[in-house]
Each structure stands twice: as C-alpha cells, then as structure tokens.
Amino acid sequence: MNYFSSDFKLGILGGGQLGKMMLYATRKFDIYTSVLDPSAEAPCKIACNEFHQGDLMDFNTVYNFGKKVDVLTFEIEHVNVDALQKLEDEGVQVYPSPKTLQTIQNKGVQKLFYQKNNIPTAPFSIYMSLEELIHSVENDVISIPFVWKSTQFGYDGNGVKVIRTVEDLETLPNVECMAEKMIDFKNELAVIVARNVSGEMKTYPVVEMEFHPEANQVEYVICPARIPQEIEEKARKVALQVSEAFQHTGILAVEMFQTQNDEILVNEVAPRPHNSGHYSIEASYTDQFEQHVRAILNLPLGKTESKVAGIMVNLVGAEGHTGDVVYENIEKIMQMEGVTPHIYGKKQTRPFRKMGHVTIVNEDVAAARKVAAEVKQTINVISK
C-alpha cells in the first residue's frame, strides 16, 4: 500500500488536541487525512485535509464517515463501537479494533478483563446503581475510604472520586459504578506500548506522573521515572503483558501504581496517544503520535528511546476563569532553556480544562523538574 502522496485516506474520529498532534506526523509524511468531530472549532480543523462535523456517538454519522476512508483510527474512546464493528466487518481497517475499544470503554469490563487475564490490578466491586453501592457500604460489604469510578464516560478526573465519608456518597450520580480499594502507592507510573498490525512491539521508557491533589489531573509527567531499574523492568513487563492480552494495534498507554512493597498494579489503559507520552515530541527519537501512525499503517516502528530527559507540564484553565482564553506570561517561559509550549487551539477556557502543555528537556532530570516547577508558577491560563 502506498500511503505517501497518494489517494490513500486515513480517517480520524475526534478532532481534539491528540488528533491535532497526530496530524504533525501525517503532514510530515504527506498522508491524506479526514477528521470527524462534533465541534466546528475542533483543534484538528486547521491541519487535516478534510474536516467533517458530526456526533461521534451516532451510528450513521460514524458509519458513513468510515465508509469513505481506507484506515480508521480514533483519538477519543467515546465513539460508536457498533458502527466501528460494522465497518470492520465490511472490510474497513479499524485500529485499534472495535473489540479492544469495547473492552476499554467500560471501566468495569476493563477491570474484569485484567482479572481474567491475570493482570495485577487493585481489588474492586461493580455496582449497577448508586443504591446498590450504598447498600453494600451500609452492610459493611465494602468499607470507606475507597475510590469511586463511573464505569462509563469518565475522563480527566471526571467520573472519579475518593469517598472518605458516608456523606460523600450523597454527591454521586446514580450510574453504574465501581468501588476500588484505595492503594497506598509510592508512585503512579505509565508505560506506552506500540504494536503494529504485524505484531511488532516496542515500549517507551517508564514515566512517573505527579497529580493535582484536587482536580485528579496529571500536573507533571517525568521521563525517565525516578525509580530503580528493577521496578522499571517490572513495569515494562506488566505493560507488555497488557498489550499481549488486548492484541491491540497502535499506541496503548498503561497507567499503573507502584505500591509500597513494590508491586505493580494496572490502574487503567487508553488505546490511543496519551497525556503521559506528550514529552516524546521533544524528548524521544520517535514521538508517540508518529509511532501511532506507523503502527496502524503497519510501517516499521521507530526508536522509542529518549534523546534527553523530558518533563511535561499540563496547561489547564485557572480556577475562576471561564471565557476567551489568554496565556499570561507565555513569553517569560519561552525565555527559559529547553522549554517548548504546545497550545491546543481551544478558544474557550474553563477551570481545569486542558488547554495545552509545556515540555521541558534537559540532560539532567532533576534540573528539568526545577524548570518545570518554575514554568508552572509563571504561566497562567486565564480568560479576558
């Protein structure tokens, strides 16, 4: 198949920042792209060959879009899986596969998959409703504290809440959910695994994630993770085990906990380029977005090693600010050595909305971490 400067068409479901960054690679290779997104202001709009506006959860919209492309991928999990399955049945190449996505879309199904495949994960219980969960708490079947997760439609800390008191239960929506044991962990880690159509696999270095205490969003991603080599090897091994179990194609981000006694437990996965791999644009030989394109087109996978240490800082909307976005002090951070801002192109900010990220590269990870803290304190995402 000739993908380059040809009439081959790659379809991408979702036109957000992940799609926009994937288009860096398709433009470099001159691969023709068609994007579907519900928003007329989608970040992808400026960089794809064709842009279509439509609902990603609507069967007909997704099906009709997919019929006009040769290979279909997605940058967001909330898409109509039945349409993807029909497209695959009719010969459209869909990567990652609808089967992989269906397992991952529901966090309860995802956890049961880990259990079935002997993948280490935190103990959990699944409840069909809030009443069922409250009944279990009242009857001491499960004990507080625990982590509550909505099984569907959660993202960036939405649909996840730490339950510390009985009163906290009153704030929860009445949806299918999961109660997960709170893990006393040393570190939150992630490994990105790339796997192409032929089954060639590569892992990126283990990264460490530092989270915002309230928003439950990643504030810093640090590569390489500041962990002993045997923990790094253990984490990569578990990530490869997860990838083998899913038999996925493309990029799979595996988020994990390193417990106090150095067990590795899988938290959850994302079958697409991921926040924990953004550092790779500046720090790696092959960034995660190019790697995803290589994998789904069955091209040879690129080198995953880092050239330098890389730290990513998320740029999220400041509290108390909603409206037209202003990036305050962006010129100041651009004066700092090794600092590159990435602005996603969302015109409207709101508290904790992901608006961009900043990568800091340095030979020395400790020095990069210091600059990252300075970047975090300097730049503000506010409204006019």
Where in the chain are the domains?
Answer: 9-94, 123-181, 185-383
* Cα 86 → chain centroid: 25
| 3-class DSSP state of 257 | strand
CATH 3.30.470.20 fits 185-383, yes or no: yes
Sign of the dihedral defined by the CA atoms of residues 341, 346, 348, 352, in that order: negative
**Is 326 within 8 Å of 379 (Cβ atoms)?**
no
pTM here is 0.95
Q: What is the pLDDT of residue 212?
A: 76
DSSP tag of 301: P
CATH of domain 9-94: 3.40.50.20
Q: What's the Cα-to-Cα distance from 269 to each of 79, 100, 257, rounded to whole Å?
A: 16, 11, 12
Binding residues for ATP: 107, 149, 180-183, 188, 267-268
**Model confidence over 101-126: pLDDT tens digits?**
999 999 999 999 999 999 999 999 99
For 12, left (φ over 0), alpha (ψ -120 to 50), or beta? beta
What is the C-alpha end-to-end distance of the chain, expressed in Å? 49
Task: Give the separation between CA 252 and CA 254, rounded to whole angstroms.
Answer: 6
Pick the CATH number of 123-181 from 3.40.50.720, 3.40.50.970, 3.20.20.70, 3.30.1490.20: 3.30.1490.20
CA distances from 19 to 34, 154, 187, 289 (A): 11, 19, 29, 9
Q: If we measure between CA atoms, which residue out of 355, 334, 337, 359 comes closest to residue 346?
A: 355
Backbone region of residue 338 per phi and psi (left: phi > 0; alpha: psi in -120 to 50; beta: other values): left
Residue whose entry in the numeric block shows the structure tokens 């006393």: 184
The residues, ordered by sequence, that sit 6+ positions from 65 with a Cβ below 8 Å of its Cβ are: 11, 13, 34, 36, 52, 54
Phi, psi of 372 (to 5 degrees): -60, -40
pLDDT of residue 156: 61
Q: Which residues are annotated as a binding site?
A: 107, 149, 180-183, 188, 267-268
* pLDDT computed for residue 218 by the predictor: 82
The amino acid at 269: V
Residue ranges of the chain whose pLDDT lies below 70: 155-157, 215-216
pLDDT at 153: 78
Give the neighbor-by-neighbor strand order of the sheet with 348-349.
Answer: 348-349, 323-328, 380-383
pLDDT (0 to 100) of residue 219: 86
Helical residues (DSSP H) of the chain, grouped into ranges: 17-29, 59-66, 81-89, 98-105, 107-116, 130-138, 229-246, 280-283, 288-296, 330-334, 365-378
The answer to whether domain 9-94 and domain 185-383 are alike in fold is: no
How much is the pLDDT for 308? 98
Question: Rounded to an integer, what distance in angstroms lies between the CA atom of residue 227 and that of residue 312?
Answer: 18
Q: Which residue has the tokens 């951070």?
A: 333
According to DSSP, residue 90 is labeled T
Element (H, E) at 240: helix 229-246
pLDDT of residue 157: 63
pLDDT at 213: 72
- 88 contacts 66 by C-beta, under 8 angstroms: no
Helix, strand, coil percentages (3-state) for the chain, rounded to 5, are 30, 30, 40
> Which positions ≥6 away from 250 have C-beta within 8 Å?
73, 95, 96, 194, 195, 271, 272, 292, 295, 296
